Structure 1
Amino acid sequence: MQLEEQTEEVEKMKQDYAILQQETKTVQQTIEEFKLFEEQISNLNLQMPRNLNSNENDGSGGIPFPELSSLEPNETSLKIIEMKEELPDLIEKFEESLKRLQEYENELKTIPTLFPATEGRLTSKYGNRKDPFNWKRTFHSGIDIAAPLNTPILAAADGKVIHAGRNGGYGLTVIIEHGDTYETLYAHLNKIDVQVGETVKKGDVIGGMGTTGRSTGVHLHYEIKRDGDRIDPYLYMTFHERANSN
């Protein structure tokens, strides 16, 4: 995937993130409307009016209520009717906002935007570079992050483990499938803490940093695939930082 396409994808993610923030505000606003609605209900005087056109000399056999058709609706009854009419729309608005919010949250959870280790520094970028073993110019399909041995490695997004074990030159490797779009790879691990078929959440520890396989030292080799194509993980790892800066 070309850099321009990746940049467009990240821009779309930023737009989705902004929509999520707006939907959150909408839900909060609707909750406040509910609170106001409840407050208005509690403040209404729901007692039966005392003056019902009765004669004070009437006996104790009962108060002669006038026919309902002759009663003028008072302010309280009108307010109740008005609020009863508003309530279904308010509930529908609230439910729609929650549904949209949940949809955006679920989508964002499967996008690998989390830094895949509890600590570390970037030592090799995505793209063409000199191979550390033979110094020939080769393509680096991910990024390298260096940190101490067994530094916890984190799932970058919600997903399902589809590989957990040795993987040729990658050494001990974990591969996670994130829905239908994304896949992440974590290589050269010293240990693996998950199994194939296991469901993981964004931020779950999946292993420890190591130097297994074709490696010159302790580090994590990290890759992201989108629709089967490898892309630059750095754009996704820095997504939240850049989204919040706008």
Structure 2
Amino acid sequence: MKKQVHKKTSNSQYWTILLSSDTRSSMKQFRIRKKLFYAAGGLTIAIISMLFIGGFLIYGLQEERESLHQDISDIEHETEEKITRKDEQIEDLNRENEQVYEEAHQVRKAIEEFQLLEENLEDVNLELPSETSDEGSGGPSLELVSDKASAMTEKDIRDDLHVLQEQLPILIESFEETVDAIISYEEKMQAVPTIFPAAEGRISSQFGERSDPFTGQTSFHSGLDIAAPRGTEIYAAADGIVETVSKHSGYGNKIIIDHGNQYETLYAHLHTMDVEPGDKVEKGDVIGGMGTTGRSTGVHLHYEVFQHDAHVDPYPYITFHEQEEEN
């Protein structure tokens, strides 16, 4: 088909289009209004432009959509991480609260044990035999925090710990005073003759008036007689310095120990003497063996206690710990 556009109509508002398949075929003529052609061309350009702009906008929107999806995904991931961290923090806080509660419970339990111990210490008789003492021990009566259920709130735990923190210094100070009193008492007791001065034996003669075993007359017995087999170990009744190691016609082999704080002890009729004057001895040290030297009717220990250079009955001293157990 051959297309020819050669003719123009006299009317400038139209174009005439002649179409012929070949030179021998008849011509077909078409008239097209110029405005319509321009309008169609403009419309085509407009459509193409709109398609191009639309495609560009769609491409931009798609990219923006993908960017938004990525942002949303990032925000979701970040939010999940924050939630995870918060959950972990909550778990840590719960563990810390449980630990704090457990510590508060242990402190409360320790306070109860301290108070019970201090009550027991207050009941200890710190008086020396045949003596009285104005010294004592004690402390404030502390109000213990009551036990709470394991599901304590954080405020409850803080309040509980605050009370415990206020109580502990008072309790510790009072307890330390009591312990210091006990230590001081124990140190003082080391120099007081409060132990049985022989490894074994029975009291065969008491302190005080008695019938003299040689004359049968009433006489004053200045100590205790403790009977046991020959060689039975004799103990220093308290810490001190050996003052005398000698032989005596009445006492036989005798040892005198100065305990330095108002007391002295005498051990007589010994078979052996294992210390020398000036020796430092501690309570319970072996100083000799039981015998029957001097004015004696048989194997025994004659034991005397002096307080401020005066004879005192040894019996309350050698039974002091038994009296403590009974009390």
SS at match of 2:210: strand
Q: Which structure's relative contact order is higher, taking Cα pairs within 8 Å and 6+ residues apart?
A: 1
TM-score, normalisation: structure 1 = 0.64
Q: Distance in 2 between matches of 1:222 and 1:215?
A: 13
Q: Distance in 1 between matches of 2:280 and 2:268?
A: 19
Task: Kindly provide the amino acid, as one letter, of the partner of residue 249 in structure 2.
Answer: G
Residue-by-residue CA offset, 1:39-72 (whole Å, 9 max, x unaligned): xxxxxxxxxxxxxxxxxxxxxxxxxxxxxxxxxx
Task: Kindly provide the amino acid, as one letter, of the partner of residue 194 in structure 1.
Answer: V
Matched with 2:250 is 169
Matched with 2:275 is 194
Matched with 2:286 is 205
Q: Distance in 1 between matches of 2:214 and 2:130?
A: 36
Matched with 1:106 is 187
Confirm whether residue 240 of structure 1 aligns to residue 297 of structure 2: no
Q: Distance in 2 between matches of 1:178 and 1:203?
A: 13
The number of residue pairs the alignment matches comes to 187
How much does 1:92 deviate? 5.9
List, as ranges, runs of 4+ consecutive aligned residues in structure 1 with deviation greater than 3 Å: 80-99
CA contact (8 A) 1:144 1:221 kept: yes
Larger Cα Rg: Structure 1 or Structure 2?
2
CA contact (8 A) 1:16 1:104 kept: no
Residue-by-residue CA offset, 1:189-238 (whole Å, 9 max, x unaligned): 00011111111111111100001111111100000011111011111111
How much does 1:89 deviate? 7.1
How much does 1:136 deviate? 1.8
Matched with 1:116 is 197
How much does 1:167 deviate? 2.7
CA contact (8 A) 2:130 2:316 kept: no
CA contact (8 A) 2:129 2:320 kept: yes
How much does 1:128 deviate? 1.1
Q: Distance in 2 between matches of 1:136 and 1:81?
A: 75
TM-score, normalisation: structure 2 = 0.49
Structure 1 residue corresponding to 2:303, chosen from 210, 219, 222: 222
Matched with 2:129 is 10
Indicate the RMSD between aligned Cα atoms, in angstroms.
3.2
Percent identical across equivalent pairs? 52
